[in-house]
Amino acid sequence: MDAVELMGRIVKETAEATKDSDSLGCAKLVVFCNAPDDNPFMAGAFHGVTEADAIINVGVSGPGVVKVALENARGANFEVLCETIKKTAFKITRVGQLVAQEASRRMGIPFGIIDLSLAPTPSVGDSVAEILEEIGLERVGAPGTTAALAMLNDQVKKGGVMASSYVGGLSGAFIPVSEDQGMIDAVSMGALTLEKLEAMTCVCSVGLDMIAIPGDTSSATIAGIIADEAAIGMINQKTTAVRLIPVIGKKVGDTAEFGGLLGYAPIIPVNTFSCEKFVTRGGRIPAPIHSFKN
């Protein structure tokens, strides 16, 4: 079975398994490249073979806290801005480690890692997009978005590793469209596109996340999108992922409601030029060379 046939079968089977009256058959497809074993966040929170039978890995997420802290640094230079993010990440991480260690003691289960990822929710004020806009973007997706996101990620990591010797998992900013009200708004007004989201995945965790696409998107196009994201992960030796939602019966301009922490998403345009001849070549792409040293 080639890549397109496999993708078509996955999309069809997941669509049939997740049909509901609102989304008209929404199929959520998740693919990881370089997935870490100790990631406590869904949808990649599986127990890797290197993990203990029972272990406590804790995700510490505080985009709302970072946003409020940055409001006090509004108009300040980059040095002040970065120091504010770093100090805030330090405080959040210390609290997370104390909670994790106490949970470990009470449950008698080993403490593993603290994941510093800024994971948004649909709640107002809990948005990574709003952090980036507080940094100085009119809307996420504007020129400078990738640079601002890279800076945010770097400062979060720097603050976190000062606070804990057990930083692991993904430890970066998540950019799920349907779970972040600021991202939803940016897509709705045309400021944020699929191509810009792909560029942002080069500098953050994890990848193209919770993105609703037209239900008639071909399996070849979906395979091509996955291949692009996997290439970013392999060449840059980082974790990337694709969590696409082909929404059966809906097109660009429509909205898909998922409910709860999954939120809702506008159907985003997808490049309609075909990559079928590329993804149906068969065989496999050789592993990339990262070094000539041994």
Residue of 140, 179, 165, 144 lying closest to 257 (CA atoms)? 179
Q: How much is the pLDDT for 4?
A: 56
Q: How much is the pLDDT for 25?
A: 47
Domain boundary residue, one of 142, 174, 205 = 205
Same-domain check for residues 42 and 79: yes
The pairing of beta strand 264-266 with beta strand 208-214: unpaired
Same-domain check for residues 171 and 41: yes
Has residue 289 been placed in a domain?
no
Domain boundary residue, one of 178, 205, 232 = 205
Same-domain check for residues 191 and 212: no
pLDDT (tens digit per residue) in 150-202: 999 999 999 999 999 999 988 888 999 999 999 999 999 999 999 999 999 99
Q: Give the domain CATH number at 136.
A: 3.20.70.20
User: Per mean pLDDT, which of 54-58, 185-189, 254-258 is the most reliable?
Assistant: 185-189
Q: How much is the pLDDT for 60?
A: 85
pLDDT (tens digit per residue) in 197-210: 999 999 987 889 99
Has residue 293 been placed in a domain?
no
Report the predicted TM-score, pTM, of the whole model to 2 decimal places: 0.87
Domain that holds residue 77: 37-205
Domain boundary residue, one of 205, 226, 252 = 205
